[in-house]
Amino acid sequence: MIYVCSIFHLLLANFFLWEFFFVNCSKSSSSFLLPPGSLGLPLIGETLEYMKSMNTSNPVFMAQHRIKFGDMFKSKLMGALCVVATKADTIKWVLARDGKQFVTGYPKSFKGVLGSDTALNTVGEQWKSTRKFVVNGLRTEHLRSRVSVIEDLVLECFDSWETKQIVNVREETKSLAFNIIAQFLLGSRLRSGPVNDAVREDFYILCEGLLALPIKLPGTKFSKALQARARIIETLEREVMSKPRPENDEDHYADYMEHTRRENFPGMTEERLLEKTRSHMLGMMFAGHETAACTMLFAVKYISEHPDVLAELRAEHEKIQAAKYGSDSRLTWDDFKNMHFTQHVIIETLRLSTPVALLWREAIEDVPLHGYVVPKGCKLACALREVHHDPAFYENPKQFNPWRHQKEIVNPANKPPFLAFGGGPRLCPGADFAKLEISIFLHHLVTKYQWELCRGDEVSYFPLPKLSKGLQLRVKKCVKSTDTMFETSL
């Protein structure tokens, strides 16, 4: 009873503190002009309501709030007072002002777990320097030379299917996307094996803590993520970084450290530099891994459910394969550039199951917006998923229809907004890399395998789109690529 009373008093005290803070913050920073909305419960605001909605197959939180309050509303999500923007034009406007009126504003748990020096969390000159380094490593010439390395990893994945009857696509795509980004960052030294397994397992634990409440108590997701972070760094430095770099092999870690050392930032001690490099590596692993894995997973789900899409996709890849008859059968950058329908499938998958549902910014001055004011220090959440489900731009938005992206648009101003890779100065630098790896994955999937979908998966969307059973397929290797998919239901 005493315990219950204490909690009650604690909540009450927090409530008054919150109200006090909010009223004062309002007076001091013109947030009386915040848009309408609801701040929900003390402390947690509407976080649980949002998470609950996203954990269903039909998230309605945003749509209901729009009906009630309009396209821009205030809320309290992930522990922060925020303005939520749901319209494409507003979001593009905000993203374009990164570094001017807004800076990146990811939840505390993000910084805690990944470190404050990831590209996503840095601002100003340090961000510009990191961005330059990352963009340079992901430019077309570099990607062109990566095709065969990525294809090797994809083939390794599909070879392992030969001994399996049922595959769990979530597990396969997660480990494939991890291996691809690991190879990109650290080359062959982190290729499959026990070290790769250990780092990968810890990485999953780390990801679980990214959006958890930042409470450092034994057993919390946040604490487990911090421990996993420490183990990953320890393992990488002991097992990978201490080994000599093979000739022509990747070493993003050493190269980034060297690049940043040359920038000569004031106060950048060797210790700071080491911590910055560690954060950057974890940030890259995170940015380039879960998003791509989730897109591969949902692409397989959608094409399995739409035989007409699968048929057109298969035809595209068989044509590419047929053109190689008698010559080198390996894929090239030019093949990738010819995978036109595949790109529509990928874009449609990203539209329907947008991996990054919310982008976070923080106002660095009072920003007037649509007759309201986003006060200095207030977060702004850009609801990308909402944009992609807006019937004003996408007819039957819930329907998977890659052909919708084929329509010729005469006036670019009428192009439906597509923001899965963000926008403005922080537009995802890995977009082409992601499309390349997903395309190579789809190429080998549709030309090598037939499959039957095991039903019964529930879809949900928090923190990323996911399937309750991970999408299980009963697979059979194609005897010849023109075999049709076998169709019995399990």
**Residues of this chain that bind ligand HEM (CB under 6 A):** 104, 119-120, 131, 134, 284, 287-288, 291-292, 295, 350, 355-356, 359, 420-422, 426, 428-430, 433-434
Shortest Cβ 389–ligand HEM spacing (Å): 16
Contact 185, 199 (CB under 8 A): no
State how far the Cα of 254 lies from the Cα of 19, in Å rounded to an integer: 49
Shortest Cβ 288–ligand HEM spacing (Å): 3
If the CB atoms of residues 142 and 243 are measured against ligand HEM, the closer one turns out to be 142
Shortest Cβ 137–ligand HEM spacing (Å): 8
If the CB atoms of residues 112 and 423 are measured against ligand HEM, the closer one turns out to be 423
If the CB atoms of residues 287 and 485 are measured against ligand HEM, the closer one turns out to be 287
367: β partners: 374
If the CB atoms of residues 173 and 235 are measured against ligand HEM, the closer one turns out to be 173
Q: Which residue is nearest to ligand HEM (CB)?
A: 430
Contact 207, 226 (CB under 8 A): no
Beta strands at 459-460 and 449-454: parallel, antiparallel or unpaired: unpaired
Nearest Cα to Cα of residue 458 among 141, 170, 45: 170
If the CB atoms of residues 172 and 452 are measured against ligand HEM, the closer one turns out to be 172
3-class SS at 339? coil
State how far the Cα of 371 lies from the Cα of 83, in Å rounded to an integer: 13
Contacts 24+ apart (CB under 8 A), 142-149: 143/333, 143/432, 143/433, 143/436, 144/333, 146/184, 146/433, 146/436, 147/330, 147/331, 147/332, 147/333, 147/336, 147/436, 147/440, 148/330, 148/331, 149/183
Shortest Cβ 450–ligand HEM spacing (Å): 26
Shortest Cβ 311–ligand HEM spacing (Å): 24
Shortest Cβ 119–ligand HEM spacing (Å): 4
State how far the Cα of 302 lies from the Cα of 39, in Å rounded to an integer: 36
If the CB atoms of residues 228 and 350 are measured against ligand HEM, the closer one turns out to be 350
Shortest Cβ 131–ligand HEM spacing (Å): 5
b or e along 376-390 (b: 16 or more beta carbons within 10 Å of the residue's beta carbon)?
Answer: bbbbbbbbbbbbbbb
If the CB atoms of residues 7 and 135 are measured against ligand HEM, the closer one turns out to be 135
